[in-house]
Amino acid sequence: MLVYLFDHMEEFQFDVLREVGNIGAGNAATALSKLLEKPVDMMVPQVKLIPFEQIPDIVGGAEEVVIAVFLRVVGDAPGNLFFLISRESAVQLLSKVVGSQELMKALENDSLDLTELQVSALQEMGNILAGSYLSSLADFTQLSMSPTVPSLAIDMAGAILSYGLIQFGEMGEHAVLIDTTFHDGEDQVEGHFFLIPDPESFGKIFAALGVPLE
Amino acid sequence: MTEENLVKVGMADLKILVATGSLRTTGLGSCVGLTLYDPVTKIAGMAHVMLPSASIAKEGNLNKAKYADTAIPELIEQMVQAGAVQKRFEAKMAGGAQMFAFSGNSDMMRIGPRNVEMCTELLEKLRIPIKSEDTGGNYGRTIELSSDSGMLSIRSVNKGTKEI
């Protein structure tokens, strides 16, 4: 039945999921812009049913090193939420919040050791952004969705993102991904929000928004 | 060495190599990269396993390469059909990391260690020795198996490259 759902998703269902991304990421982009004290633009969310294999390509390939804040969404419509940025973007973000000189040095040497303060600053930013993403989504759908404590990883995109695909792994070779890209307009900070609802959550999201499920 | 005949193994995928060259899979996180090698015929095989057991599968057409308990027999069969001898097989594996740490460790979160446990258990049952492994931790790996030497090279972001 679930497999059937994903093989036969209608265009309007993709539209609904795009709107889900729009609302969540829109709110998060506002929060980010407050943190950075400058405007943040958001692209129209992409909703795709893509083979696992191709998912890391969205951020530059399986081996591309990215900084990711990962949260598990718990509640009525569980799922995985990633806030993903490049190393350069992380430097910019950190420079706004904590001193970044050490980090700059670390990045030049290609070392990825962050201080405890920098790690918790990035986690906290992830927390704020994910929190605003989820709370607007919960308001919109009237479903309860809350974030777990965020976890940070700096590693290969493939290794990180595959973690969010395990629930889909039991069902097939594809996952539905709601991807919203944002940037600050000056090419300094650019990143993605990936919401990967658990397969079982789609029915709940559609039902909550009054979309018929065949 | 890597220029000629580099065979890419995707996520939830398995490949064998009967010629000189290497097998490669990128960005292993909680997934396990399992390799089998027959040192006499130099036939090599690699699987990028995502989940421990097909018993939880909810999919219609089962992808054998995705689950440890179906990928290992499939890999053996393909290699034996290509002329390798199972008695000589040597296994190596890498990956099975726990990319993110959480306080409430549910089974899903422990997927990396579970993948490793399942592979180890199955290989023991099949009496295939695990020659070396680089598993666990909290970081991603890219691996490459040379069909010439059976050497497995492992690259990670923080720890550079090593050979096992």
Give per-residue pLDDT as tens, A109-133.
555 566 777 778 888 888 888 888 8
CB A27 within 8 A of CB A40: no
Q: By the CB < 8 Å criterion, does A62 face chain B? A: yes
Identify the bridge partners of residue B163 per DSSP, sorted by sequence position. Answer: B153
Percent of chain A with pLDDT over 90: 1
Give the distance from CA B14 to its chain's centroid: 9
Q: Would the CA dihedral through A146, A148, A153, A155 be positive or negative?
A: negative
Percent of chain B with pLDDT over 70: 91
Total domain count, chain B = 1
| For chain B, the helix, strand and coil percentages under 3-state DSSP, each to the nearest 5 | 25, 35, 40
Among this protein's residues, is B119 annotated catalytic?
no
CB contact under 8 A, A170 and B57: yes
Helix (H) or strand (E) run with residue A154 in it: strand A151-156
Instruction: Give me the mean pLDDT over the B128-143 stretch.
Output: 93
pLDDT at A109: 54
pLDDT tens-digit series, residues A35-66 = 777 788 888 788 888 888 888 888 888 888 88
Q: Which superfamily is assigned to A2-208 in CATH?
A: CheC-like (3.40.1550.10)
Give the distance from CA A162 to its chain's centroid: 13
pLDDT level of residue A100 (50, 70, 90 thresholds): low
Q: Is residue B1 part of a domain?
A: no
Structural tokens at position A18: 């795009």
Q: Which of B131, B109, B59 is nearest to A168 (CA)?
A: B59
Q: By the CB < 8 Å criterion, does A200 face chain B? A: no
CATH number, residue B140: 3.30.1330.200
Q: Would the CA dihedral through B99, B105, B108, B110 be positive or negative?
A: positive
Residue in chain B lying closest to A149 (CA): B102
Q: Is residue B140 part of a domain?
A: yes
B14 vs A103, A124, B3, CA distance in Å? 39, 39, 21
Residue B154 has pLDDT above 90, yes or no: yes
pLDDT at B88: 94
pLDDT at B25: 95
pLDDT level of residue B2 (50, 70, 90 thresholds): very low
Question: What is the domain range of residue B128?
Answer: 6-163
pLDDT tens-digit series, residues B24-76 = 999 999 999 999 999 999 999 999 999 998 887 776 678 889 899 999 999 99
Q: Is residue B100 part of a domain?
A: yes
The B13-17 sheet, strands edge to edge: B13-17, B43-49, B32-38, B90-95, B130-135
Give chain A positions within 8 Å (CB) of B101.
Answer: 151
